[in-house]
Structure 1
C-alpha cells in the first residue's frame, strides 16, 4: 500500500503540473509545410524528421515527421529558426537563420543517402522497422496488428530471430540462454516469462536484438541479449495513446501512454491493466518398460488448466533538463498480478495382462500474487566535444511472489503447498565515452549487480509436513564488472575492440538441510568487431565475444513442482556457470525493393546445461517417480546460418522473412549414483540439426483495410534423451483507421489452427518411453480500439541521442 500511495501522489503532481502548464497563454501559430523525397528514386520518405530550433533558445525546439507521402505540416510560433530535415542513413539538410513570419510551404526537399552510415540501415515499414547497427539490430515497434491488446511476449514472438514457446520461454536463434533487459538493465523479475506477460505491448518503443554483444554489455547470456525499451514520450506538448481490447478466451485490457514535454522537463507515463484467462492443457503418455508386479505398465496423464489473471503495470517518469548539457531522469515502475490457476490432472492407469484400468484424479487449485517495485535514476553529463559524455545510473527493486496450492488427490488425500519468494536487487553503473581524433572513440565503465533471493517452500501431506519437498533456500549474487573498448573507422574498415572483467561471488544456502555453498569465480570477456564496407549498399562484418550463463532460480532450487507426484522437476543447487565463445560472420546487401541480412555463426559452450530424467527410487502406488533435473554436461558446439529478407513488392504489399538453420553437436558423459547406490555412466553424445522460419505479409486491401499474416515454424530437434517435435503456428490480423485516422480498430487471431503445442518424446532405456504435449495458451481472438490525441498515426517519438542500453553509444565510425 505504501508503494501505491507514493504512485498516487506522483500522479496527482503530474496532473497538477499539466493543468498549470495548459493555463499559460499560447502565441498564435503559423503552418510550415513541405515534402521530403529520396534524391535518386524521387520516392517520398515516410518518417523523416523535421526539427525547428530557435538559435537564441536551443531548448525551445518543435518539429514532427513526414506522413506516407513524405509530407509534413507543422505549427510553429513566428520567429527565426534553424530547420533540420533528417532520415537515418541519409545526409541531413539544414536551413539556417530562416525567418518565418507567416504560413510557408518549403516545397520539395531531396535527401541523399550517406554511405558513411551504411552500418545503420533502416527498413521503412508501417509495421515494425529495423535498424542494423555495428553490434545489434534495433526493431522499432510500429503499428503491428499482431500485438494490439497483447503483451511483451506477443511483441517478442513477432521479432525475427526470436521465439517464445508455449511456456513463455524466450529463445534467440533457437537458444534459450538469452538475457532479458528492460531499458538496458537486467530484469528484476523472479519469473521473467511471467513478468513479460504483465507489460502491455503498447508500452514498448523498440527491441534491441544483440546476438553477439560487445564488452559494453553484461557478459550474461550465451545466446545474447534482448533489450526491451519502454516508451518515454518525446513529442512536444501533451499527447498520448489509449488502447482498449477484449477477446476470447477472456482477454480484457486497457493501456495508455501519456507524455508532456516542456522546455525544462518531460513527464511520461505508461499504464496498463489486464484481466485474462489462459486455458491450457498437458498430455503425457508413458510406457513402463520393466514394471513392478501389480503396477501399471501404461499411464495416460492429462491436465486441463484454466488460469485467470488480473494484472497492473504502471510506469511514471520525469526527465529534468538541468542545463544545456545535463539531464537527470527518474522513474518508478510498479507491477502487480493476482492469478488463480485450477489444474485438473487425471491418471488413466492400465495394468499388464489385464483389461482393467484405474483412473486417479488430482486437482490443484493454486493462487499466486506478485508485486514488483522498481526505482531508476539516471544522470547524463555532456561535455563540449560532440559525443564526449558521462552517464551514471542507479536502480533498486523489490519483488515479492506468494503462491499457495490446495491439492486434492483421489488416492493420497489432500496436500497443501506454500511457496514464498522474495528478491531484492541493486544496480550501480557508470559509463564514459570519449571521442579521439577523427573516427575514433574510447569507452570505459563499471557495473555492479547485487541481488538476494529467498525461496521458502512448505509442503503438507494432510497436516504433516513433507520433508522431501519442504525447503528454504537463499541465493545471494554479487557481480562487479569493469570494461573498456576502443572503436576506429579507417577508410572502408570499422573496428571495435573491447575487454570486460567480471568478478562473481555466489552463496547458495539451504537452511532446511544446513547445506551452505559459496562459489567465487572471475574471468575476462573479450570482444572484437570488424566491418568492411564493400560498396555504398553492401557490407561485411566479423565479430567475436565471450559469454557466461549463470544458473539461477528454478534451475538451482531443489524444490520440485508438485502438480504431478510421479513426473517431478527438481533443481540442482550444484550447477556451475556455462561459458560460451561466439563468432559471427555477417553480410548486408540493399537493393531498391530488397534488403538482405545474413549471418553465419558458431558457438562453443563448456559445462552446458542439459535436462535429464532419472529414476528417483520412490514409488506412488507402485508407479516409479521420475525426476527431471538440470546438469552440467561437457561441451556443446552450435553452428548455424540465418538470413532476414525484407521485400516491398508493391506499395500495398510488403513481405518480411526470417530463416534460421542450426546444428548442435554435444559431447559428454554423465556419471551419477542411482537410488540403488550403483554408479551409472550414460553417454549423452548427440548431433542434431533443426531450423525455424518466420514469414510476415502486410497487405493493404480496398477501403484502406490492413491485413497482416504471420507464419512461424520450428523444426524437430533431438535432445539427450529423446526429441522435441516441430511446431507450426499462424496468426492473422486486420485493422481499419477511423475518426480521421485519430483511431484504429483491429482484430487478430493468435494461433489460427490451435497448433502451438510443445511436443516431446523421451526414452530412458529399460525404464520408460513417453510422449507428451503441452499447450500453455489456446487459440485467442482479440478486438482492440486505439485512440490517439495530439498525435498522428505516423508519429514516431523522437528518441534522445543517448542510447538506453549500457550507457555508451554505438560506435558508428
Structure 2
C-alpha cells in the first residue's frame, strides 16, 4: 500500500506540471552550428540560451555531437541569443522573430578561447574557497588543503565545524557525532573511519556541509549531512593524475592513487584507484585512585586497503544520459596490543592481557542512473538505483597472565550487510523564479552478525560457563516521498518542503527477545534567503531530523575492549528526533568574506550512554545505550577568508556549542574493606552541561610563482561528557608545496604537530574516579608527489549528483 501511494503521488505531481503551451504555433525557432575559431572543429554540448530584452530566459538548449543546435518556442519580437562554453568567450547576438520569418538559421558561429578565464580556473584551484548556499556550506578543495595530509581523514580536520577523532577516526559536526557521511551523494556500508582513511585527499573536489538539509534529503543525522564530492574530469580526451605519499614518525605509512578519464562526444569512461598501507602506534594509561590501580595500553594497528572505482556515462543524445559505476573496497587489518594492570597496594592481583585481532572486509557498490532532460531548461526526471554489499570477518585471540581468573580464549565475528536504494526525482522550473521538486525513495537495509567464542564467563553464582554463541539479524526498510517548492521575489527567495516516511524495523537474536518497531513520521523543512546587495546575504532555515539507532548501539553481542570494560548494545532503543533552526549572515568583501551563524536544536528521546557495573565482577564496567528525557543544544559559528596581500591569504573559523547531556550510571556505596554486593549498587541519573569550542586558522604564503608555504593552527577547549572531562587539545602544522613540470606536478612536504602537543587527557568520575591520557603518532612528516597528464577541451555537460544548488545569477536560490 505504501508503494502504491508513493507511485500515485509522484505520477499525479508530474502530470500536473508537465503542460504544453497553446500559443506554441506563434513561436519561432533558430538553428546553427558552433565551432572552435582556431581549430574549425564543432563543439558539442555548448549552452545556447535565448533571453528577452529584460534579461529573462525564454528558451534554450545545448549543441549535439556535431555542434548543431535547434532552439524552439521563441516568441515573436526581439530577443538575444547567448552561447556559452567553459574556456571560451561568450557570444551574443540580437535576433527577431517575425510573422514572415519565424525560423532563423544563424549559420556557423565561431567561439574564441578565453585565455584569461582558463588561467582563472587554475588560480582558483590553488586556494580553497567557501561558499554559503541556501541549505549548505560548499568548500571547494584547493591545493592548500590537499597538502594537509594524504587522506580524507586529515583533510576533514582542517574544515570548519568538523572534527575527526585522531584515535577512533569517528567524525562529528558541531560537536555531535550523529551525522550522515555520503560520497557523491551516496551512503555506504563501509565504516566511516575506515572509509576516510581510504579516500586520497587528492581525489576530493568539494566537501558540502549540509547542517539543515531540506525535505529532499534523508532526515537521518541530528547534525546534518557531510557530502564528499570526488573529482570527475570534465575535459575531452584522455586525462589523469597519479600521486604517491609517505608519512612517518614511529611507523611508516604509504599512500598512492591513480585517476584516469577518457571522454568523447558520446562516452565518458573513468577509473580511480587508491591504496593505503599503514602502521599506527597508540599508547596510554588510566589511573584509579580509589584502589590505587593503573592500566597501561600499547596498541599497534597494521592495515592495508585498496579502493577501486570504475564508471561510464553514455550520452544517448542531448536529452538522455545513462550512467553506471561500481566501487570495490578491499581492507585487511591486524591490531595487536598489551594491557597491563597494576594494583600498587596489592601486587598479587596484577595481570596482563595480550591480544591479536586479525580481520578483513570487502564492500561492493553498484549504481545505475538514467536522466531525461525535457525541452525546458532544468526540467528533468531522474531514476537512480544502487546496491551495496559488505562482508567482514574478524578473529581475535586473548591471552591472560597473572591474577586474571579468565582463561585464554578466541572470538570469531562474521558480518554480512546489504543496502538497496531506489529513488525517482522530478524537477520542474514552473517559471523563471520558481521550482517544484517531487520524488520517492525506497531504502532497504539488512545485516546479519554471527558471534562465537571459545571463552568462558562467570554467571551470577560465580561459576565459569561457556560463552554463548550469538546470531543477530537486523533489518530496516524505509519508504518515503517528498515535495519541495521554491520561489524568488526580488531580493527574497524561499523554499518549503515536507518528507513522509514509513519505517519497518525488526531485530532478531537467540539471546534476547525480538524487537519490532513500525512507525510513520513527517519531516518538514523551510528556508528563507534575503540578499539586499551582492555583498550581503541573510538566511534562516528549519528542519526536523531523526537519529535512528546505529548497529553498534543495538547489537547485543558483547565486545570486550579491555579486561575492565565491555560494551553491549540495546535492541530496544527508540529513534531520537530533533527540531533544528539556524540563521546565517554572509558578508563579501573585495578581498574575502565572512559568515556568522547561530543554531538551536530541540531533542526528543535523546540517545546517550548508560554505564553499569558488571554483576559478575564489580571491578568491571559495562557500557550500553538508552533513551532519556528531552534536551536542547545551541551554538554559534563564525568563519571567513581574507587575502591581505598578493602573497598571503588565510581562512579561519570559530565554533561554540552547548548541550545538556543526560545519562544513567551506577556507583558502589559499600564500607571500605567490605566486599560489595548488589545491595551496595546505587543507580543515579546524571546531567552534564557541556560548553565546548574550537578555533582553527589556515595560512597560505606564496613565496614565488611555484613555491607556497602553509601554516595551520587548531585549538579545542575542554569537553565534558557523561563519563569524563577532557583537557584542551591543540597543535600546529607547517607545510610547503612546489609546482613542477610547468604546473603539471606538485611536490608537498608537511611537518605535523610540530610541538608534539596532541594528546587525549581526561578526568573521570563515573562510575569510578579516574585520570588518564592517550597518545598516538601525531608528530609526523609527510612527503608527497603528484602529476597530472592529458589535455583537451572542456565539455559542458556532466552528470549531477542530487543536490539543491541554485542557478547562478538568480539571487541565491535557483
* TM-score range for the pair, normalised by the shorter chain length: 0.7 to 0.9
Aligned to 1:720: 722
Query: Is 1:503 aligned with 2:505?
Result: no
Return the offset for 1:55.
Answer: 7.7
Quick one: which of 641, 657, 664 aligns to 1:662? 657
Alpha carbons of structure 1 residues 156 and 123: separation in structure 2 relative to 1, 3 Å? farther
SS of structure 2 residue aligned to 1:144: helix
In the TM superposition, 1:391-406 aligns within 5 A as 391-406=382-397
Aligned to 1:635: 630
The question of whether the paired residues in 1 share the 8 Å contact of 2:564 and 2:620 is answered with yes
Q: Deviations over 1:31-58 (max 9, x none)?
A: 99xxxxxxxxxxxxxxxxxxx9878834
Aligned to 1:386: 377
Aligned to 1:479: 478
The question of whether the paired residues in 1 share the 8 Å contact of 2:691 and 2:719 is answered with yes
Larger radius of gyration: 2
Quick one: which of 744, 750, 765 aligns to 1:763? 765
Return the offset for 1:170.
Answer: 0.6
Aligned to 1:228: 228
Alpha carbons of structure 1 residues 614 and 438: separation in structure 2 relative to 1, 3 Å? same
Aligned to 1:209: 209
Between 550-559 and 198-207, report the one with greater CA deviation.
198-207
Quote the Cα distance in structure 1 between the aligned partners of 2:795 and 2:622: 52
Quote the Cα distance in structure 2 between the aligned partners of 1:780 and 1:107: 41
The question of whether the paired residues in 2 share the 8 Å contact of 1:688 and 1:717 is answered with yes
Quote the Cα distance in structure 1 between the aligned partners of 2:680 and 2:68: 75
Quote the Cα distance in structure 2 between the aligned partners of 1:394 and 1:535: 42
SS of structure 2 residue aligned to 1:379: strand
Aligned to 1:45: none
In the TM superposition, 1:165-204 aligns within 5 A as 165-166=165-166, 167-189=168-190, 191-204=191-204
Q: Deviations over 1:2-25 (max 9, x none)?
A: xxxxxxxxxxxxxxxxxxxxxxxx
The question of whether the paired residues in 2 share the 8 Å contact of 1:603 and 1:638 is answered with yes
Q: Deviations over 1:471-530 (max 9, x none)?
A: 22111110111100100001111010000111111111112x152111112211000000
Quote the Cα distance in structure 1 between the aligned partners of 2:133 and 2:366: 30
Aligned to 2:513: 515
The question of whether the paired residues in 2 share the 8 Å contact of 1:149 and 1:244 is answered with no
Q: Deviations over 1:381-430 (max 9, x none)?
A: 10011110001110001101111111111034422111111101100001
Return the offset for 1:637.
Answer: 1.1
Structure 2 gaps of 5+ residues are 1-35, 42-60, 70-80, 94-105, 459-463, 670-676
Quote the Cα distance in structure 2 between the aligned partners of 1:697 and 1:510: 53
Query: Is 1:804 aligned with 2:801?
Result: yes
Aligned to 1:564: 562
Quote the Cα distance in structure 2 between the aligned partners of 1:59 and 1:210: 39
Q: Deviations over 1:748-789 (max 9, x none)?
A: 13333343333332213xx51112333455433221111111
Return the offset for 1:365.
Answer: 0.8
Aligned to 1:298: 292
Between 459-468 and 518-527, report the one with greater CA deviation.
459-468
Alpha carbons of structure 1 residues 111 and 422: separation in structure 2 relative to 1, 3 Å? closer
Return the offset for 1:805.
Answer: 2.9
The question of whether the paired residues in 1 share the 8 Å contact of 2:530 and 2:539 is answered with yes
The question of whether the paired residues in 2 share the 8 Å contact of 1:348 and 1:357 is answered with no
SS of structure 1 residue aligned to 2:552: helix
Alpha carbons of structure 1 residues 53 and 514: separation in structure 2 relative to 1, 3 Å? closer
Return the offset for 1:148.
Answer: 6.7
Aligned-residue Cα RMSD (Å) equals 3.4
Alpha carbons of structure 1 residues 642 and 477: separation in structure 2 relative to 1, 3 Å? same
Quote the Cα distance in structure 2 between the aligned partners of 1:420 and 1:673: 37
Aligned to 2:32: none
Return the offset for 1:308.
Answer: 1.2
Between 223-232 and 194-203, report the one with greater CA deviation.
194-203
Aligned to 2:731: 729
The question of whether the paired residues in 2 share the 8 Å contact of 1:395 and 1:427 is answered with yes
Return the offset for 1:83.
Answer: 5.8
SS of structure 2 residue aligned to 1:562: strand
In the TM superposition, 1:461-472 aligns within 5 A as 461=455, 470-472=469-471
Return the offset for 1:372.
Answer: 0.5
SS of structure 2 residue aligned to 1:195: helix
Between 720-729 and 103-112, report the one with greater CA deviation.
103-112
The question of whether the paired residues in 1 share the 8 Å contact of 2:503 and 2:519 is answered with yes
SS of structure 1 residue aligned to 2:571: coil
Alpha carbons of structure 1 residues 361 and 670: separation in structure 2 relative to 1, 3 Å? closer
Aligned to 2:684: 682
The question of whether the paired residues in 1 share the 8 Å contact of 2:610 and 2:663 is answered with no
Return the offset for 1:345.
Answer: 1.2
SS of structure 2 residue aligned to 1:57: coil
SS of structure 2 residue aligned to 1:416: strand
SS of structure 2 residue aligned to 1:617: coil
The question of whether the paired residues in 1 share the 8 Å contact of 2:146 and 2:201 is answered with no
Alpha carbons of structure 1 residues 378 and 703: separation in structure 2 relative to 1, 3 Å? closer
Aligned to 1:4: none
Aligned to 1:292: none
SS of structure 2 residue aligned to 1:436: coil
Aligned to 1:739: 741
Q: Deviations over 1:607-640 (max 9, x none)?
A: 1122232211222xxx611112222221221111
Aligned to 1:376: 367
Return the offset for 1:59.
Answer: 8.2
The question of whether the paired residues in 2 share the 8 Å contact of 1:227 and 1:805 is answered with no
Return the offset for 1:664.
Answer: 1.1
Return the offset for 1:92.
Answer: 8.8
Q: Deviations over 1:148-179 (max 9, x none)?
A: 76222122222211110121111111111101
Quick one: which of 540, 561, 565 aligns to 1:542? 540
Q: Deviations over 1:265-292 (max 9, x none)?
A: 100111112211111123211233xxxx
The question of whether the paired residues in 2 share the 8 Å contact of 1:493 and 1:533 is answered with yes
In the TM superposition, 1:82-481 aligns within 5 A as 84=84, 93-95=90-92, 124=124, 126-144=126-144, 146-147=146-147, 150-166=150-166, 167-189=168-190, 191-248=191-248, 249-288=251-290, 297-351=291-345, 356=347, 359-410=350-401, 411=404, 412-461=406-455, 470-481=469-480
Return the offset for 1:554.
Answer: 1.2
Return the offset for 1:663.
Answer: 1.5
Quote the Cα distance in structure 2 between the aligned partners of 1:802 and 1:777: 40
Q: Deviations over 1:578-606 (max 9, x none)?
A: 10000001101001112011111101111
The question of whether the paired residues in 1 share the 8 Å contact of 2:753 and 2:779 is answered with yes
The question of whether the paired residues in 2 share the 8 Å contact of 1:641 and 1:662 is answered with yes
Return the offset for 1:107.
Answer: 8.3
SS of structure 1 residue aligned to 2:640: strand
SS of structure 1 residue aligned to 2:316: strand
Quote the Cα distance in structure 1 between the aligned partners of 2:141 and 2:600: 29
The question of whether the paired residues in 2 share the 8 Å contact of 1:408 and 1:414 is answered with yes
